[in-house]
Amino acid sequence: MITNTMTLDLSLGAVQISPQSLAPGSFGTGGLDMQKFLRAMFLLNVGAFGALATVDMKLQESDDSTFAVGTTDIAGAAITQLLAAGGNNKMATIEVKVSQLTKRYVRALVTVGVAATLISVTPVGCNPVNDPANQNDVAAAVQRVKLTTGQVHIYTPSGLLINDL
């Protein structure tokens, strides 16, 4: 029997890379504070690749929430490069445990090569130190819908029930 809900276990706890066409270059998500979670997952969604484009994603850690200083790559935390030749509409994830980190914050860094490509990256904090996880959501997380026992409950990021259908 499942006793917890994803609302309690998962947080949209860092600024995402919103869906957009990204020119060649590197782009980072916001830093996920790993003092608040036991695990983190970063979900990469690639739409239409530009001609001959490549997409890489890796995780970095830092004690600075802005990643301006002391940023290091996390060994082994990178996807195999995605290629335009492999077709459009691809997804990839990287997951990391707090025990695999040496610094407080973790982020995804996406690098687009050759041609502009449609990209989004969603950082997700998992297994919160303090429930509910959604108390750590960023402002962009405006609504959560939970179906329980045939009813639909709609919550604000602070956990306030705004509609009970």
User: What's the CA gap between 108 and 42, in Å, rounded?
Assistant: 7
Establish if 86 belongs to a structural domain.
yes
Establish if 26 belongs to a structural domain.
yes
Residue-wise pLDDT for 9-54, tens only, equals 889 999 999 999 999 999 999 999 999 999 999 999 999 999 999 9
- Closest of 70, 73, 136, 123 to residue 100, by C-alpha: 73
Q: Which CATH number fits the domain that encloses residue 94?
A: 2.60.120.1110
Establish if 141 belongs to a structural domain.
no
Report the DSSP pairing between strands 25-28 and 10-11: unpaired
Establish if 123 belongs to a structural domain.
yes
Backbone phi and psi for residue 56, each to the nearest 5 degrees, phi listed first: -120, 150
Tell me if residue 4 falls in helix, strand or coil: coil
Name the domain count of the chain: 1
Provide the residue range defining the domain that includes 130.
Answer: 6-136
Per mean pLDDT, which range of 43-52, 75-84, 146-155 is the poorest? 146-155
Backbone phi and psi for residue 135, each to the nearest 5 degrees, phi listed first: -65, -15
Residue-wise pLDDT for 105-137, tens only, equals 999 999 999 999 999 999 999 999 988 888 889
